[in-house]
Structure 1
């Protein structure tokens, strides 16, 4: 009897895990590259001011071709908008990751103001970039829409972080908090910035914290 021969396995019949590993790894690398580009852009904005940042600078420092930057972000303005709003997205993600157990809404609010102060101290032009793009008549509508989505996301993050059981934070109050932070930032940036921004945010922080404490009594 001739020996049994094992059927040959086509090279394409790889295990499912192997077939899916390459796209997953590629997607992860793409996300890492995107975050690196945003981080480089934020650094250049802080060092030179948003008006002086060029795609050539970002391309050189991030190690990403200029054509790739345009393919992924569409324009310099959109890249700048995403770089600036990504800071506040990170704040929202960190707030959402915090355990609510054992912390009152007022205490979580105070912590959120601390984080905003830290981020703006480290990246003083970030919010200025957003405001400048928002009010520039030459900026495409798509960039303003990206900023609007970012602000809507900030509102949702605050509502989620500061709501108490049975006492959801009203969205208009979250919008008021964000508007107040914008105003404090503008006042701080227009000054000589010799005082820390936390000093400009402190009255608003106490005002909203007192409101939350009175609501939760």
Structure 2
């Protein structure tokens, strides 16, 4: 009698390594990007933007230089995004504020308080943007990023300072931002020996009076 054939033992399917879920990868990528921007802002504040190198950022953030270039494209774009991200945060905070019970003039005062705090803590930030904007060697993509950032600031102010039925005109928001830039340049040229809030105070009062007058005309 021929030997009986033993049935094969059931086998487990081979374990195939899987890559992280796209959501997890995206989240880690965003976290890395924000960490790099935070490190870059700190280095700019400590050393001035002209002295900051990709090697420094790579070492401080724990991210390879090749990854920095992959995320941002160039050192100039990284510096531009680090500086403009500060003001994006201001816009996000303004948008998160409840408007109920707060007049437009009061919201303007809050925005000037935040701007003064950010510029005091990061005095080089606006200078980075202006220097990159007027540098002939900077790629056009960097200037386009700065333009988009300023357009976003205008939209943030329009959203934050509009009253029901009385939207803030975009040209007025652009004038506010231009005035803030001028106050910053005057403050920085004065060796920052006085609080920037003192330089911003006339603009804050001027635009606040305009908003209060506008609300009285309703």
> How far apart in 2 are the matches of 1:26 and 1:170?
41
The CA deviation at 1:196 is 0.5
The CA deviation at 1:192 is 2.2
Match of 2:184 in 1: 185
**Alignment CA distance shift 1:15-1:144 (3 Å):** farther
> How far apart in 2 are the matches of 1:12 and 1:162?
79
Task: Give structure 2 stretches of 5+ with no counterpart.
Answer: 12-20
> How far apart in 1 are the matches of 2:85 and 2:190?
25
What SS does the aligned partner of 1:137 have? coil
**Alignment CA distance shift 1:189-1:15 (3 Å):** farther
Query: Could you report, residue by residue, the CA deviation over 1:97-150 in whole angstroms, capped at 9, with x for unpaired residues?
Result: 000000000000000000000000000000000000000000000000000000
The CA deviation at 1:193 is 1.2
- Which stretch has the larger CA shift, 187-196 or 158-167? 187-196
Query: Could you report, residue by residue, the CA deviation over 1:27-85 in whole angstroms, capped at 9, with x for unpaired residues?
Result: 11111110000000000001111011000000000000000000110000000000000
> How far apart in 2 are the matches of 1:35 and 1:12?
58
**Alignment CA distance shift 1:13-1:176 (3 Å):** farther
**Alignment CA distance shift 1:71-1:194 (3 Å):** same
Query: TM-score with structure 1 length normalisation?
Result: 0.90
Structure 1 stretches of 4+ with a deviation exceeding 6 A read 11-16
**Alignment CA distance shift 1:209-1:65 (3 Å):** same
**Alignment CA distance shift 1:12-1:131 (3 Å):** farther
> How far apart in 2 are the matches of 1:155 and 1:165?
18
> How far apart in 2 are the matches of 1:104 and 1:12?
82
Query: TM-score with structure 2 length normalisation?
Result: 0.89
**Alignment CA distance shift 1:74-1:211 (3 Å):** same
The CA deviation at 1:12 is 27
Match of 2:193 in 1: 194
> How far apart in 1 are the matches of 2:10 and 2:162?
46
**Alignment CA distance shift 1:166-1:56 (3 Å):** same
**Alignment CA distance shift 1:148-1:15 (3 Å):** farther
The CA deviation at 1:2 is 26
> How far apart in 1 are the matches of 2:9 and 2:103?
53
Provide the alpha-carbon RMSD of the alignment: 5.0
**Alignment CA distance shift 1:166-1:50 (3 Å):** same
The CA deviation at 1:23 is 1.6
Query: Could you report, residue by residue, the CA deviation over 1:149-193 in whole angstroms, capped at 9, with x for unpaired residues?
Result: 000000000000000000000000000000000000000000021
